C-alpha cells in the first residue's frame, strides 16, 4: 500500500530531489510475479485457486508465529495450520459454514493452549488467516462469476495501493496516523478511495446487468477496509518491533506484508455476499439492483 511502496531504507539513492529505494527493481519484479501467480491461480479454476490460497495461508500462519512468539515451529503453529487447512478443505467441499465454525473453535483452542504471553494475539491469528481464506475460496467457487468476483477484489485492493502511494507522494500534506505508519497521508488515503470507486464503476461496465454506482460504493467500502488492514498489520509489527513479516518476497518482506489489504477486503466482500444471498456468492457481490 502507500506505506509499502513509499517506505525508504537507509540505503536509499537520491535521484534529483526524490529518494528512491535501492530495491525498487526487485520490488517491481516480485510484485509482478505475485500478480501473475494470483491471477493465474484464479483463472485456472476453483481447486487450483483454493490450493494457492491454502499455501499462502499456511505461510502466513508461520509468519504470524514468528512475529508474535518469535518461534519457527511450535505446537500452537501446528494447531493453527491444521485448523486453517481443514477449514479450507471444508469450504472446497461445499461447507464453508463448518469451516467458519472450525476457525472460531480453533481460535478458542489456541487461546487455551497458547503461551501466557501474547495469548490473545496468538489466538486472533487463527481467525485473521482462516476467515479470509474461507471467504475467498467461497466467493471463487465453481460459479461462472467466481473468477470475476476475485478479480474485482484484487483490482480494488491494487488500485487502492497504487493511487494511495501516488496521491500521497504527489500531494503530501497531513499524516494519517504517524505513530503507526509515518509515511501515510490523508491525501493518499482519500486518493486510494476515490480511484477505487472509479475502478469499481468501470468494472461494472464490463458486467452486463451490474450497476456502476452500486459497485463503486462496494469498492469504496473495500478500499477503506483494505487500508485499515494495512494499518492494523503495521501496528502489529510495531508492537513487536518487527520490520517485515518475513523475508520471503524480495523487496516486499513476507506474505502478510502483501496480503494485509486483501485479508480485510476479502473478508468484507464475503460478508456482503452472504448478507445478500449465500447460494450465489459471486453474483451477490457483483450484481446490485
pLDDT tens-digit series, residues 69-84: 887 788 899 999 999 9
pLDDT of residue 109 exceeding 60, the answer is yes
Which of the residue ranges 62-66, 168-172, 211-215, 226-230 would you say has the lowest mean pLDDT? 168-172
One domain for residues 174 and 110: no
pLDDT tens figures, 227-247: 999 999 999 999 999 999 999
Distance CA(156)–CA(132), nearest Å, equals 16
One domain for residues 151 and 117: no
pLDDT of residue 255 exceeding 80, the answer is yes
One domain for residues 167 and 267: yes
One domain for residues 280 and 162: yes
Within a domain: 35? no
Residue where one domain finishes, among candidates 118, 141, 164: 141
Amino acid at each position: 500500500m502507500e506505506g509499502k511502496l513509499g517506505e525508504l531504507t537507509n540505503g536509499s539513492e537520491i535521484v534529483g530531489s526524490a529518494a528512491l529505494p535501492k530495491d525498487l527493481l526487485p520490488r517491481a519484479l516480485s510484485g509482478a510475479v505475485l500478480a501473475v501467480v494470483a491471477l493465474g491461480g484464479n483463472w485456472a479454476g476453483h481447486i487450483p485457486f483454493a490450493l494457492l490460497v491454502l499455501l499462502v495461508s499456511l505461510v502466513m500462519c508461520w509468519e504470524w508465529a514468528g512475529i508474535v512468539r518469535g518461534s519457527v515451529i511450535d505446537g500452537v503453529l501446528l494447531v493453527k495450520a491444521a485448523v486453517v487447512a481443514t477449514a479450507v478443505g471444508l469450504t472446497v467441499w461445499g461447507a464453508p459454514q463448518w469451516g467458519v465454525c472450525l476457525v472460531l473453535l480453533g481460535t478458542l483452542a489456541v487461546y487455551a493452549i497458547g503461551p501466557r504471553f501474547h495469548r490473545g494475539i496468538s489466538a486472533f491469528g487463527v481467525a485473521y488467516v482462516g476467515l479470509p481464506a474461507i471467504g475467498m475460496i467461497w466467493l471463487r467457487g465453481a460459479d461462472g462469476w467466481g473468477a470475476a468476483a476475485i478479480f474485482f477484489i484484487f483490482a480494488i485492493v491494487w488500485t487502492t495501493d497504487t493511487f494511495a502511494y501516488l496521491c500521497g507522494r504527489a500531494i503530501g500534506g497531513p499524516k494519517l496516523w504517524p505513530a503507526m505508519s509515518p509515511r501515510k497521508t490523508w491525501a493518499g488515503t482519500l486518493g486510494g478511495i476515490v480511484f477505487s470507486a472509479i475502478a469499481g464503476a468501470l468494472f461494472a461496465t464490463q458486467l452486463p446487468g451490474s450497476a456502476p454506482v452500486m459497485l463503486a460504493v462496494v469498492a469504496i467500502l473495500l478500499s477503506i477496509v483494505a487500508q485499515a488492514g494495512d494499518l492494523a498489520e503495521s501496528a502489529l509489527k510495531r508492537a513487536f518491533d518487527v520490520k517485515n513479516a518475513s523475508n520471503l518476497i524480495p523487496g516486499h518482506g513476507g506474505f502478510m506484508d502483501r496480503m494485509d489489504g486483501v485479508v480485510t477486503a476479502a473478508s468484507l466482500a464475503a460478508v456482503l455476499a452472504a448478507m445478500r444471498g449465500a447460494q450465489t456468492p459471486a453474483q451477490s457481490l457483483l450484481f446490485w439492483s
